[in-house]
Chain A
Amino acid sequence: VPKYSFMLNGKQVHVDAPADLSVLWTLRDKLGVTGPKYGCGINVCKACTSHLDGKAFNPCVTNLRDVAGKEVTTIEGLAKGDKLHPVQEAWLEQDVAQCGYCQPGQIMAAVALLKRIPNPTDADIDTIDNVCRCGSYFRIREAIKSAAAKMAQPVALPPKKPTPIQPAEGSLPATGLDTGMAVTGATAVAAAAIVRYLREDAAAEEI
């Protein structure tokens, strides 16, 4: 049996399975990663939506050989430890989930949409084709808008005039930079880090 390797949620995994086993059953039955759900098997319900190299894909219609050497992120890889992704946080705030079965896929689809379109219109949100049989669509829409607003904040409010911090005497090393410059620089680096966290696939950063 051929052996395949790929990155899964930031870790290298090796699978002994046929080349044409779908990634959905590879994840679920071989690797025990059960966040991506079966709902149709033919890429119409999209309950298994995950990310392949940072873009939305549907494991149910993707063969194992086609992810070899690539990077797969499932819902389990979206948060950083206990720190949820802003889209997950928005889902909690809006109390979106009812049965919850489709929501991993809905969230991964929303993250992918926001990556392409940071400030989506209603028409943009309408392009998400994932089925929610409980009919939580309106709250999904509200959550996506809320997440977009959260994620836009660091970009929309760049540090123009940082509040000067009065350091205790001698607390800053003598770098040749004045205090104001140092603070501005630190803020910019922090902002950039936040933006990168929000924009990029969580797993992509870890590699």
Chain B
Amino acid sequence: VSAPLDPLDEHSGTTRRRFLTYLVAGPTLVVAAGYALGEGTANAVVPTPPQLADSLDLGDVLILAAKDTESKLIVIEVSAAGKVTCALPRAEVGQGITTAVAMIIAEEMDVPLDVVTVTLADARPELMSGQLTGGSNSIRSVYTPTRNAAAAAKSRLTAAGAKKMGVPASSVRMVDGVVTAADGRTATIGELSALAADPNLVVGKAALKDPATFKLVGTPHNRKDARAMVTGALKYTNDLEPRPGCARAMVRRPPTIKGTAPVIHNLAAVQKMPGIRKIVIIQTGVAVLADTFGQALDGKEALEVTWGPGSVDHESNATILAKLKASQLPLTVPAIGTVIDAEFDFAPVSHAAMETNTAIADVKAGGGTVWSSMKSPIEAGAEIEKELGLPTGSMTMHVTQGGGSFGRRLFYDGALEAARISHAAGVPVKLMWTRIDDMRHGRTRGSSAHQIRAVYQGQNVLSFEHRVAAVENDLTHGLGDAITAAAAQSQGLPIGNMGYSQTVFTTTVKSPYNFGLTTQLLNEVNMDLNTASWRSVYSAPTRGAEEIVVDELAKAMGKDPLAFRREFLADARYLTVLNKVAALGKWGKAMPTGTAQGLAFHAEYKSCTACLVELDARDRKNPRVTRATIVGDYGRAINPRGLESQLLGGLTDAIATVFKAGLHIVDGLPLEGSYSQFHFPRQKSIPPKVEIFIMPPTTGEPGGAGELGLPAAVGAICNAWARATGLKPRSFPLIFPVDFTPFTKNSGSTRVQPR
């Protein structure tokens, strides 16, 4: 929608809230709506430190930060053909949010699901902090604004129908996209869209449906974009051709992370190679532009380049870990009484999304256009404008469907790099990173070191303390300031001086147990590595490690892991989920020697989950989870089918990061360069039996979904490993040899590939 949204009228809605409705003047109905400011998604909260995340979590903070623009967030358009469309200001990278949002619209508008199409909005700078995809927050943040807009659209269509038929608005009803009068006359939403767009139309009260009457929301639906995916018709960035025949660009990168100042020795020779169009130096390396990516790769391989030093040339996994351990914050409770002390460490992990950093850019002196999968597109555009000295607002940022993210696309490295290349070369370019570059020079979940101390006496746990030291996680993707500002400004928060990371840690990590004095503290060490939030951010290692200690506490206190958790879980809702997974997964059944069950629980973002796995560890080099049972409570599930997918993904990520997937950083560069070396699971490492159960509505409000599954699955798998092998899982990934010949460091690529 290019036309500005103008506030039209403010009319009374339900007794509790007032709608603020926006219309775009035009031939068809284009409507946005929110509650009048001061009301809406996030209600006032009174946090109770130190377990801040119980009452105010990161999702709440993100919603608070975007509060001022919430009423314009969701724009719904109804065409004369009866099609309902919404350009969602979020990134779709596999979460299924476009399907879930279509379901919310269809439900609230009372139109058939198949007339609703949800696309991805371009960057909308007027949304300020309101266009960030992260923190498991998409559905949480758009649920109410989407319902408001849909309800406003429905009330206008209903009023239009009544006017057209000359009857009172109260006497017509809208079902399945058709407005019907008492005498049986009907009008479709397509027939009514123009009339409904009339600013002078008198519209009655708009009210949200009673969720108890939902027919669509809460029932399982398959993805609306699935057919395009299985036929190859769905277009990812690299499949688009908005500038036909534009140059394909690849970048020759340094031999170590953040290596500097390239000097090219054979420029003329490479420029003469087949298909090569241009070669330009940018901040991150040497860009080679060619007719095809195959030829660009050939060119970049053939370059002879010398480089300046990188940022971590003398660092390796071991030296990084030593620095983390040296900076660990002290525990509060001394080791007196009956104590369980445990230390854990996690190696760095690549996001390894299937689609590498990819972007198309056409940038000239006066501005330009970028196509890329971006989770913070407003910031991306602003950064490009700033760096290249372009007029403010001169960049159009198209958000394309992404081939996975897992946190990676919070940063717009590909978009920025493509813009730099296009600007420098003076031509439109399509940029793609090679897999090797993506793994070695891309971002990672940095290493972390953990110290946990639990003190117990008799039948009681007296204290549970956790100290995390981690490589600084880059959170500067446009919302860093807003996160901290909103968190600090919201009432009563004692975190005004905290950095972004501390805020994110404090608002995501919490213990779900009654363990007496509970403290969880983060200390980050700046290593100048390339990092970005990785699915579950701090929770996967932090809560995963804690669930291991929970099992060890249970054992020390002579209790069964399930019985122990039943006794100490702090919330009745948690207990229901735990009991459900134990029943479905048949906890306690006899298992052969070398195999075992494992159990764990996790709560965050107002959702909770329990995971129960069976593990076959008879082959210690190739353990396999043979069965998994997972229960998820999301408060209110929008699309249970999609939530099952998210839990399945979390399970796979847990199998990966517990057993074999990690990066060996050696002298400033990861050795791993492809999926043959970074051991992300394949079909043969995945359980052939998986059962997932999504709870019916509990709290009534949707909780976070994308990241929930991972920490509990990490805990369950580790606990099964400990029970099957008698070994204590401490250093991750557990099976981590350098079982491959690394690609050459200097080329940053490989000759295995044909030209």
Interface residues, chain A, with chain B CB atoms under 8 Å away: 17-18, 20-22, 24-26, 28-30, 32, 34-42, 44-45, 47, 60-63, 74-76, 78-79, 84, 88, 91-93, 95-104, 107, 122, 125-141
Contacts and interface: CB of A to CB of B under 8 A. Distances in A.
Interface residues of B, number: 69
22 contacts: A24-B294, A25-B292, A26-B292, A29-B291, A29-B293, A34-B235, A40-B435, A41-B750, A44-B674, A44-B675, A44-B676, A98-B95, A99-B402, A100-B225, A100-B230, A100-B234, A130-B683, A134-B354, A135-B686, A137-B683, A138-B687, A139-B648
Interface of A is mostly: loop
B157 to A, nearest CB: 31
Contacts of A25: 292-295
A100 B231 CA distance: 10
B238 A34 contact: yes
Contact of B230 (A84, A136, A139): A84
A39 B293 contact: no
B690 interface: yes
B231 A79 contact: yes
A54 B275 CA distance: 32
Contacts of A21: 292, 294-295, 754-755
A42 B96 CA distance: 30
Contacts of A22: 294, 753-755
B293 A129 contact: no
Contacts of B226: 91-92, 95-97, 100
Contacts of A18: 274-275, 755
A113 B531 CA distance: 39
Contacts of A36: 232
A92 B750 CA distance: 37
B353 A133 contact: yes
A136 B647 CA distance: 10
B752 A42 contact: yes
B47 interface: no
A91 B674 contact: no
Contacts of B576: none
Contact of B649 (A60, A93, A134): A134
Nearest to B274: A18
Interface in B216-271: 222-223, 225-236, 238-239, 241, 248
Contact of A131 (B235, B354, B356, B432): B354
B680 interface: yes
Interface string B193-226: 0000000000000000000000000000011011
B185 interface: no
Contacts of B304: none
B86 interface: no
Contacts of A140: 683
Most chain B CB atoms below 10 A, which of A30, A98, A132: A98
A139 B690 CA distance: 9
Given A39-B675, A139-B645, 17 more contacts: A34-B232, A34-B238, A37-B354, A40-B674, A41-B435, A60-B753, A61-B752, A74-B232, A98-B645, A132-B354, A133-B354, A133-B404, A135-B648, A135-B651, A135-B686, A137-B686, A138-B688
B589 interface: no
A57 B177 CA distance: 47
B137 interface: no
Contact of B238 (A38, A62, A104, A135): A38
B403 interface: yes
Contacts of A131: 354, 675, 680, 682
Contacts of B225: 100
Contacts of B236: 37, 101
B294 A133 contact: no
A99 B674 CA distance: 19
B292 A92 contact: no
A131 to B, nearest CB: 5
A130 B681 CA distance: 10
B119 interface: no
A140 B355 CA distance: 19
Nearest to B222: A95
B90 interface: no
Given A32-B241, A99-B94, A61 B222 contact: no
A207 B469 CA distance: 63
B93 A135 contact: no
Interface in B410-451: 432, 434-435
A130 B685 CA distance: 12
B9 to A, nearest CB: 41
B242 to A, nearest CB: 13
A100 B291 CA distance: 27
A39 B434 CA distance: 8
Contact of B648 (A35, A84, A125, A136): A136
A35 B435 CA distance: 18
A178 to B, nearest CB: 45
A61 B294 contact: no
Contacts of B238: 28, 34, 37-38
